[in-house]
Chain A
Amino acid sequence: MTPNPYLWVVPILPLAGAAINGLFGRRSSKKTISTVALVFCGAAFAMALYLAAGFSSASAPYYFDLAHWIRSGNFQVDFSFYLDQLSLVMLLVVTGVGFLIHIYSVGYMWDDDGYYRFMSYLNLFMFFMLTLVLAKNYLVMFIGWEGVGLASYLLIGFWFTKDSAAAAGKKAFIVNRIGDFGFLIALFLMIKHFGSLDFTHVFAAVRSLPTETAGAGLLTAIGLLLMVGAAGKSAQIPLYVWLPDAMEGPTPVSALIHAATMVTAGVYMVARSSAIFERAPMAMMVVAIIGTLTALFAATIGIAQTDIKKVLAYSTVSQLGYMFMACGVGAFSAGIFHLMTHAFFKGLLFLAAGSVIHGVGGEQDMRKMGGLRVYMPWTFATMGTATLAIAGIPPLAGFWSKDEILWQAFNASWVYWLIGVITAFITSFYMFRLMYMTFGGEYRGAAVQGAHGRDVHGLDAHGHDDRSHGHGHGEPHESPWVMLGPLVVLAVLSVFGGWVAGYNNHFEHFLAPVFQGTSDVAQEASPEAGKSTLEYLLMVVSVGVAGLGWFLAYLLYSRRPQLPARIAASLGGLYQAVANKYYIDELYAVLFVKPLIDGSTTILWHGVDQGVIDAAVNNSADAARHVSDRARHMQSGNLRSYAGWIAAGGAVVIAYMVWMGLR
């Protein structure tokens, strides 16, 4: 391990930006705020590139101890940073995509009153995410973990005057917290049994333990608890409910946090803990099952959604399921590969959706869109590219990563593979559905000017109000170049990003030192020249399935647009269930939320707070008052009563003296 003193600079730069914008932003001009935010984020990106350029697998991993933190007996945790191949990949993704989204936000949020707040929060998020990614021990990672949760809360509830946004922010934070609880217990177990939270120490200790094939043991427990944390942060079953609600936040937030970076923190954490999972097969299986089921489950919900951002939200949950499926079968590098490509195309999808929403004046319901390819050609082109990528059409990025996962899953169990293929079909279907509904056909929406401020979403979906637009009114319009630029860059990445990395399993080899000692199935398969016939066959199947989904979407939404409604009507209850997200939120409300609130109100509030604490204080005050009330009568001003008291007292003294004398 070689020390690298620049490691800690990377997170600090956006923190400085956040502080400056946060403290001084209210009085600064929008130009200053933008410059500050972009400069610091860009500097972090530049720093990341510099580190990447100087990165050499021979001297990796790099580390840097910034300062002491906890020194308690034998237990020691410091502010330490760590850079190995895995961290490098995450670092580049986070800073790169993050920087692009910062640029986009300048355009998107320009007219918002809380502009400085937004840019400050964005930088703050970058700081926490980078801390998470560059951490050398679980505790610093946890700081980042919690911090991104905080930033997510702040950004989801950015338009805090809107009740639904505030509630969504709360929901996100609370559900995250439940996951964090699992994470914390896992940390405690680690401290107890390994005496340290440092990656190198923990993994070395873990590697010395045997694989727990016979049943559950310490490592299984830790693995499962870590998975609970990951499920909370990365929106897997059963803690995914916050992600669709998080679409209340501005679209750049959805792109950055809920597509490209924060939700991938769970995947990163699982990949980082690969040593633990490798030795706990039961935990790995749980991870794979959760991932697979979530992928399918979320995809089915996505079919019936009408809000453009909600479709993308469920798509994110589904794609995250793919990543966990990969990790669960031991293909950690495949999972990270998909994480990277997903950041590209999902980030692009969200940003493009934001462009669409901006262009139609705040409308988010796809049923009111349509025909936008005429008005917004660039957005159409980039979003189309991303859709091809997510559907897994070669040679775009999504194909390489998704295919890798499906191949690894097949080697583990054909059940995973089959569900993965079905999900790919559904994914392709709903994505192209989105494309046809939004860009195809004729424009079904209201005149853009009239749609401002009075649409379904109350406060404009992206903070614009009537005074903002200088563009042509009455019809949808293309977005400014400050927003389109990042779209184009991400589109290019979506096309070429996977190819470069997936070719000859470059990516996997790059990450191999991180996952050494893992039963990465591909390691056995890849030394062979090229790929096997079976792999090609599976590739063809997955591409075919993607094409099938495209065709079906074309059929239902382009050729015969009246069909979907009839199908929906004929399916009746089933359709309703799917459209209402299987009523999971309502179920949670009844099972958990309501009893908790009722219990708190009755027992804790009325019982303890009012009955015990308040009562104690009030009653003691009352008692004091009563006593003094009685005692007050002594001071009556009446001379004779004073004399009476004196005489009585004198009698007491005399009696005492007599008694003493008698003894």
Chain B
Amino acid sequence: MVPLSYYLLLSGILFMCGVLGFLIKRNIITIFMSIELMLNGVNLSFVAFAAHWHALSGQVFVFFVMVVAAAEAAVGLAIIIAVYRTRETLNVDQVNLLKL
């Protein structure tokens, strides 16, 4: 028997790791992977709650989240490739044209 709060705790830790990765890492792809990590953490909490409250819709929602994550990953990577073509770098600090 694992208390709910432990699952939630783990979910929270995973999420925090994702955010930290987003902040710390310089490689765009690694940043993207941190995003995926965040999404996974959230998924875990969804499933945990679904089990706790015996509501299957939680798992259904997880399904949707994954679909969205997939779509987002595809588009995001395409963007990265496009950016790489122009900037020749994967370093997020050098992709700062936004400032101009």
Contacts and interface: CB of A to CB of B under 8 A. Distances in A.
A touches B in complex, CB < 8 A: yes
Interface of A: 635-640, 643-644, 647
A480 B1 CA distance: 131
Contacts of B99: 635-638
B23 A637 contact: no
A42 to B, nearest CB: 79
A293 B8 CA distance: 109
Interface in B66-100: 92-93, 95-100
Given A639-B95, A643-B22, 15 more contacts: A635-B98, A636-B96, A636-B99, A637-B96, A637-B99, A638-B98, A639-B31, A639-B93, A639-B96, A640-B22, A640-B23, A640-B92, A640-B93, A647-B19, A647-B23
Contacts of A640: 22-23, 92-93
Nearest to A639: B92
Given A636-B99, A637-B99, A638-B99, A644 B93 contact: no
A635 to B, nearest CB: 7
Contacts of B98: 635, 637-639
A635 B99 CA distance: 7
A635 B100 CA distance: 10
A639 to B, nearest CB: 5
Nearest to A651: B19
A628 to B, nearest CB: 16
B19 A637 contact: no
A643 B96 contact: no
Contact of A638 (B19, B22, B96, B100): B96
Contacts of A644: 23
Nearest to B25: A640
Contacts of B100: 637
CB-CB nearest 9 A-B residue pairs: A637-B99, A637-B98, A637-B96, A639-B92, A643-B22, A638-B96, A643-B23, A636-B99, A647-B19
Contacts of A636: 96, 99
Contacts of A637: 96-100
Interface of B: 19, 22-23, 31, 92-93, 95-100
Quick one: which of A635, A636, A638 has the most chain B CB within 10 A? A638
Contacts of A635: 98-99
Nearest to B16: A647
Nearest to B34: A643
B31 to A, nearest CB: 8
A640 B19 CA distance: 11
A643 B25 CA distance: 12
A638 B93 contact: yes
Nearest to B22: A643
A648 to B, nearest CB: 10
Nearest to B96: A637
A643 to B, nearest CB: 5
A406 to B, nearest CB: 96
Contacts of B92: 639-640
Nearest to A638: B96
5 contacts: A635-B99, A636-B99, A640-B22, A640-B93, A647-B23
A637 B100 CA distance: 8
A647 B95 CA distance: 21
A308 B95 CA distance: 90
Contacts of A643: 19, 22-23
Contacts of B19: 643, 647
Nearest to B93: A638
Contacts of A647: 19, 23
Nearest to A644: B23
A637 B98 CA distance: 4
Nearest to B99: A637
Nearest to B95: A639
B9 to A, nearest CB: 15
A643 B31 CA distance: 11
Contacts of B95: 639
Quick one: which of A636, A637, A644 has the most chain B CB within 10 A? A637
Contacts of B31: 639
A329 B100 CA distance: 89
A423 to B, nearest CB: 89
Contacts of B96: 636-639
B46 to A, nearest CB: 18
Contacts of B93: 638-640
Nearest to A636: B99
A421 to B, nearest CB: 96
A635 B97 CA distance: 11
Nearest to A635: B99
A145 to B, nearest CB: 69
Nearest to A650: B19
A488 to B, nearest CB: 89
